[in-house]
Structure 1
Amino acid sequence: MSEVKPQLGVILCDLDSYPVDYIECLTPDASGISDNPVGFFENPASWQGLPVAYAVARGARVEPLVNGEPEAIEAFWSASEKLAHCPLVITDCGFFFYARKDMRQTANVITSGLDLLPIASVLTSKDIGVLTVSESLASKLLGDHVLSSRLVIAGMEAEPGWSTMLTNDHALGNGWDQALLKEGVAAVAKREFGPGGRLANIGVLVLECTLLPEFRQEIRKYTDVPILDVASFALNALGKGFDAGAPAAGSSATLSQ
């Protein structure tokens, strides 16, 4: 019997550089929808062997999306219909969480890492940290959230390169690269998790921005709290997760099934 490989669906913001509205990448070496490097959701090699289907939410330009404008949210629903065949669908921007504000059901879709806030709330009695591309925009988005009184929000927008991610055209090389983004993450994590930092006493950290999961190990240098993000959730839900099929060091057997 051949190995079952469930297909991950990814809804993408509307960028001019995307040549098509829908594409399936069945192998990690398949041609993706952009030239962004591994670590970005648009690169199929980021998904550790999972086949991926991409649907561009045409009309969900970045600037309208991060402000929750209706045309961007309608574009989300249209894109989600194209991915109805996928057992799990995620998005490439945490501000698709605005879709939670209407009463339609998302079925197989996790709109954002912010969908993981209820899980965070049962992991700790302390405050919950949210690391986001924009503190002001995330504060607006989460102002009426049931957990708002427990949220401590820190943003990346003041760090070099990160503000570009809030514009409609944030193509590779347009004022940023991965090394610059990583430096920004390290600076914010060191400051906010350090003495007197806003995240120093949280019990869980949730990553809103989908650029942040690739820098989890950098964040981990500064905190021991659980870190929740949508990319790790998807890889564990559809991929091999904890059971990678190899025994742990010093073990004579794999985990029982």
Structure 2
Amino acid sequence: MNQCKLQMTASELKQGDSGVGDADSREKKRPVLGVIKLDSGDEMKQSCESGHESVMPFMVDDPALWPVPLSKTIAQGADAVSNKIPTTAAANGILEAAKRLDGRTDLIIGNCGYMWASREHLYGQTATPVLTSALEFLDLALRMTKSPVGIITWDAKPLVPLLKNHSGFDRLRFLSINDLPDWANWVFDRCADENPCRWSKDGMARQLTECLVEAFDKDGAFNNIGVLVLECTLVPDFRKKIREVTSIPVLDLLNFAKTALA
């Protein structure tokens, strides 16, 4: 086999070293994350977005809590109710929001896992990669293990009908968190403006831990699951609490996005 041997003069070697130095000093590319927001009817106050992460739950659309620049837009017509069906207006609103972020960002995600319901109207319509929900990890999770797969969701009632035709539905186990007191109160006072405030991040963490301990008990919903998927985008902020209860793999959209753009 012929081998090509590179011989360099001292001056050529010096130039080569200079080239390496230029490469090392090259400015690092900064990816931009795009976030599609539900249409809440009114924008949350800016003061809410300045809350410290030790006090406020991780908000997907809060630029201060991401390690990369963030661009966000509202999916007009896709409110919390219509998004779960989805209605034609909700699906179109999510698609139009994605198109507005297309070409301006490097990855587009959603701020609500139920956006998965509009996936057939959305995927393949933009050049920028789109992944709106952790529910896209279900197929992966079901391939990873022969055991059941757990899903932590805000409310399983509207989610179960969306998944009933999934080939792996019989192996799915659901845990709702919308009835945990501090979590339920957070919905109505997200910026902690009420006095007294009826929720705290510590309270949310404690209640989630208690709920998980019960779920992973031998008679619980998550008994013997092999993988855990976090549909609700509030829950990844409490991964440390999840890890106190179980050692199984955990899949979520937010940590995927952080890793993909790191």
Are the equivalent residues in 1 in contact too, given 2:123–2:130 (CA < 8 A)? no
Residue 214 (structure 1) shift: 0.2
So what's the TM-score if we normalise by structure 1? 0.79
Are the equivalent residues in 2 in contact too, given 1:121–1:128 (CA < 8 A)? yes
Aligned to 2:117: 98
Aligned to 1:120: 141
1:1-257 → structure 2 map (5 Å cutoff): 1-18=26-43, 34-35=49-50, 37-38=52-53, 39-48=58-67, 50-85=68-103, 86-102=105-121, 105-107=124-126, 108-163=129-184, 171-173=190-192, 175-239=198-262
Task: Give the SS at the match of 1:62.
Answer: coil
Task: Give the SS at the match of 1:221.
Answer: helix
Runs of 5+ unmatched residues, structure 2: 1-25
Are the equivalent residues in 2 in contact too, given 1:156–1:184 (CA < 8 A)? no
Identity %: 28
Task: Give the SS at the match of 2:72.
Answer: strand
Larger CA Rg, structure 1 vs 2: 2
- Aligned AA (1:55): T
- Cα RMSD (Å): 2.4
Residue 114 (structure 1) shift: 0.3
Residues 71-117 of structure 1 deviation map (CA, whole Å, 9 limit, x = unaligned): 22211111101111222111110000011244752541102000111
| Larger proportion of helix | 2
Paired residues, number: 226
Are the equivalent residues in 2 in contact too, given 1:133–1:162 (CA < 8 A)? no
- Aligned AA (2:75): A
So what's the TM-score if we normalise by structure 2? 0.78
- Aligned AA (2:119): R
Runs of 5+ unmatched residues, structure 1: 21-30, 240-257
